[in-house]
Structure 1
Amino acid sequence: MDGLRAVVTGASSGIGRATVRALRDAGWDVVGVARREERLRELEAETGASGFAADITDPADVRALAEHLDATGPVHALVNNAGGAKGLASVEDSDDEDWEWMFRVNVLGTKRVTSAVLPLLRAGAEQRGVADIVNVTSIAGHVAYVGGGGYNAAKFAQHAMTAVLRLELNGEPIRVIEVAPGMVKTDEFALVRFGGDRARADAVYADVPEPLVAEDVAEVIADAIGKPRHVDLDLIVVKPVAQSAPHLVAKGPLAVRAGRAR
């Protein structure tokens, strides 16, 4: 992967941070993007990636990111990972501000960064023969569940935007890949969703046998953009074995059920 460069948003924690590590291990140059500059400096020291502090909900920050990338070389892959959920209340009772935040980050942030970086991806595609846009969505963008409300709405919108982008880029050597994780146990996702309530966040994963971890999803992303240039993985849904749907998660050890007598 010598000379290939990827941009990863939401790089300060969770799936984004793990994706930076996975791509660096695969030989990519990586620019990690996140709001928390101190986390980026730690990531730079750990992995050799470069960091760029930006808030993807701020148009000025995104313009500055695009200018920085343009000045430092082509881009061959963009991983739109920044996102998140807030609240688990009903549609009736949920907070409008939580919905607005989820749309700003998951939908508008993805759109804004994609629009800014696409010209650089085209240059990268000319050099490499293919470029990649990876949007990290969620199974919440495919299956509704009680309490999903604003997160379902935002992730369904992000899923739709990804599908439209794929149609719009038809005929160009640019792969549009959607990675839709299920339950992933990270340091911050559930904590942000529940407003910093550690007990509620921990309860999400209690007794769930082997939920995914960030590294599992990062490996999927690295594999997808490392495929031969004619191979396009449009949609990858990745869940722990214990999870059949957003609302159906096994608790306790997995065990084979007794089958019918033969």
Structure 2
Amino acid sequence: MTISSNTRIAVVTGASSGIGEATARTLAKQGFHVVVGARRLDRLEKIAKEIEGTALELDITDQDSVDAFTAVLPRVDVLVNNAGGAKGLAQIIDADLDDWQWMWDTNVLGTLRVTKALLPKLIESGDGLIVTVTSIAAVSIYDNGSGYTAAKHAQAALHRTLRGELLGKPVRFTEVLPGAVETEFSLVRFDGDQERAEKVYEGITPLVAMDIAEVIGFAASRPSHVNLDQILVRPRDQADATRFHRTT
């Protein structure tokens, strides 16, 4: 990777679609050289070309993949931990352990792998920023959602703990907690069931990926002494994790 030594680099995980893609485009407009990482390299390369960034294949559940991804980065100024997701919607008595394993490995351990690998470069930058996209599920629980809410609570605990552990270091920490955002999220959760996924947003005006990306861009544009610790963003039609105003 050949990048000028004074060019600020932003890394976005899960950048092949949705919030990650929108965030990559937003940060590129702010002047960052954006390195987009995800498993779908063909989609990444298209995005990287359009934003004049760099596409690198990344599977955050695989330590070798994370090591290869992070090793080639000359510096890192911003890290956006966006990769994550949900699988299934079941009561605890019917919990699918494979779904739970996937959610923990993706949301919690994936965030840990990438963050741990890049922390030295973020500190070395002299003004690093780590944005972790958690969820309203990181502050609220709901029936049938224990696998996802448990994983998001844990991911948030990881991020919030770092805020204290690195106090005094030149790194800021922003947690963004989206409510209902219409992306591929529900499609993944329901194993590609389009009809079921669409029902999640039926009768409401949900957020879109760019709504969250603009919030992340705002956090990244603040002066180095300003730390936006937590930003909870949800549509006007949503009161909490499960309570919505729906029109018929």
* TM class by smaller structure: over 0.9
Aligned amino acid, residue 97 of structure 1: D
Aligned amino acid, residue 131 of structure 1: G
Instruction: Please give the per-residue CA displacement for 1:110-151, whole angstroms capped at 9, x wherever unaligned.
Output: 0000000111111212xxxx2101110000010001121100
* RMSD between aligned residues: 1.0
Between the aligned partners of 2:229 and 2:48, the Cα distance in structure 1 is 30
Q: Which residue of 1 aligns with 2:197?
A: 201
1:21-36 pair list within 5 angstroms: 21-36=25-40
Residues 1:133 and 2:130 are matched in the alignment: yes
TM-score, normalised by the number of residues in structure 2 = 0.96
Q: Which residue of 1 aligns with 2:3?
A: none
Q: Which residue of 2 aligns with 1:16?
A: 20
Q: Which residue of 2 aligns with 1:94?
A: 95
**Structure 2: runs of 5 or more not aligned:** 1-5
Residue 71 of structure 2 is aligned with which of 67, 70, 73?
A: 67
Residues 1:39 and 2:29 are matched in the alignment: no
4+ runs deviating over 4 angstroms: none
1:139-150 pair list within 5 angstroms: 139-150=136-147
Between the aligned partners of 1:26 and 1:243, the Cα distance in structure 2 is 30
Residues 1:212 and 2:216 are matched in the alignment: no
| Aligned residues between the structures | 243
Aligned amino acid, residue 193 of structure 1: R
Q: Which residue of 2 aligns with 1:235?
A: 230
User: SS of the counterpart of 2:7?
Assistant: coil
- Residue 193 (structure 1) shift: 0.2
Between the aligned partners of 1:23 and 1:151, the Cα distance in structure 2 is 28
Segment drifting more, 196-205 vs 2-11: 2-11
Between the aligned partners of 2:223 and 2:94, the Cα distance in structure 1 is 48
Residues 1:182 and 2:182 are matched in the alignment: no
Between the aligned partners of 2:78 and 2:31, the Cα distance in structure 1 is 13
- Residue 45 (structure 1) shift: 2.1
- Residue 19 (structure 1) shift: 0.3
**Structure 1: runs of 5 or more not aligned:** 254-262
- Residue 48 (structure 1) shift: 1.2
Between the aligned partners of 1:172 and 1:243, the Cα distance in structure 2 is 37
Between the aligned partners of 1:163 and 1:123, the Cα distance in structure 2 is 21
* Aligned-residue identity in percent: 51
